Chains A and B, each alone.
Chain A
Amino acid sequence: MSNKVAIIASNGGLFDAYKVFNIATAAAATEKEVAIFFTFEGLNLIHKQAVQQLPMPEGREHFAEGFAKANVPSIPELLEMAQEMGVKFIGCQMTMDVMGLSKEDFVDGIEVGGAVTFLEFAKDAAPTLTF
């Protein structure tokens, strides 16, 4: 059985962030080796400023109350937890070039790489998930 979980994060909303980081931290807690490839809007999830105020999907703003009531951890908290548990973050070089962003714009500890960097990790991972 594979001990790796590979995740592609390609969307940048609050809900997307929860899907990505919840699965990632749960997998890491289950002693899996986890890597997340952040590409296109997914880069918001590790961008120093953007991650502090990720948008709710339009018309779903009322869920904010539900998040508070369910005592769901904040995305920055989940992000930190994921890193602490050894989840590897890979920023997509190509998207960063297109958007004019550099490694310094992102949280500490990320790697920057191309598609092949991720594919190399994901080649024997099960499951590979896309959000």
Chain B
Amino acid sequence: MSLKADVQLDAKGLACPMPIVKTKKAMVGVNDGQILEVQATDKGSLADLKAWSESVGHQYIGTKEEDGVLLHYIRKSGDDKGIEKKFEQTIANEEVIDRAANGGMILDVREEAEYAFGHIEGSKSIPMGELEDRLDELDKDQEIYVICRTGTRSDLAARKLSEKGFAKVYNVIPGIGSWNGDLSKKI
């Protein structure tokens, strides 16, 4: 099953350094925060795209292999740590599992591909961009712990939920990027 990507790049059959060169060009057409899927058959692209993403400042999410084709997922300019967080009800990474066990829900607002490569077991995935249209999947009486990678998108999501009348909302700080527990890849 292919994961949801905003832009797809076909770099199949190309040898080094072409997958990198093509990825660099394709990134121009990707907006901040969107996901690029790079399809490649060059085995070197696995290490190269990861190193490239780190060097240039994008978030390398992960790679899966499908019928001999490597599918690399990269999120553009993934570093949003500098943005100020405003939502006041927060909860620490360490506390969230225990709290959720008492009937709360962990809501993961990262992109589908990020969720697929590692999430807290039992958490629900609603990407930030879909949140407004999927509010009916959430329960206003339940405690909701909103999580993302660095706490920035979840801050935004928590504020949005609060505006919509969800009172028991918490932003999980710092988020999956600093998660010490187990992460599941099951979808």
A30 close to chain B: CB less than 8 A = yes
A30 & B21 in contact (Cβ 8 Å cutoff): no
Number of interface residues of B (CB under 8 A): 14
Judged by a CB distance under 8 angstroms, whether A11 is at the interface is no
Given A81-B21, A85-B21, residue A29 in contact with residue B15 (CB < 8 A): no
For residue B7, CB closer than 8 A to chain A, the reply is: no
Chain A residues whose CB sits within 8 angstroms of the CB of B100 once the complex forms: none
Asked whether A71 lies within 8 Å of B21 as measured between CB atoms, the reply is no
> Quick one: CB contact mask for B25-40 with A, threshold 8 Å, 1 for yes?
0000000000000000
Contact with B along A24-38 (1 / 0, CB 8 A): 011001110000000
Is the beta-carbon distance between A72 and B52 smaller than 8 angstroms? no
In this assembly, does A70 line the interface, its C-beta being within 8 Å of a C-beta of chain B?
yes
**Cβ-neighbour of B15 out of A30, A72, A81, A85 (below 8 A):** A72
In the complex, what residues of B have CB within 8 A of residue A25's CB? Answer: 17, 20-21
Within 8 A of B (CB), among A4-43: 22, 25-26, 29-31
Q: A residues bordering B, Cβ < 8 Å?
A: 22, 25-26, 29-31, 70-73, 81, 85
| Complex Cα gap A16–B60 (Å) | 32
User: Once the chains bind, are B56 and A30 in contact (CB under 8 Å)?
Assistant: yes
Which secondary structure characterizes the binding site on chain A? loop
Task: Kindly state the separation between the CA atoms of A81 and B18 in the bound complex, as whole angstroms.
Answer: 10
A26 to B52 alpha-carbon distance, docked (Å): 9
Interface centre among A30, A31, A73, A81 (most CB of B within 10 A): A30
CA distance A75 to B55 in the complex (A): 26
Contacting pair B16 A26 (CB below 8 A): yes
Cβ 8 A contact of A73, one of B18, B48, B52, B56? B18
Residues of B within 8 A of A81 (CB): 21
Determine if A30 and B13 form an interchain contact, defined as CB atoms under 8 angstroms apart: no
Residues of A within 8 A of B52 (CB): 29-30
When C-beta atoms are compared, the residue in chain A nearest to B55 turns out to be A30
- Tell me the smallest distance from the CB of A125 to a CB of chain B, in Å: 15
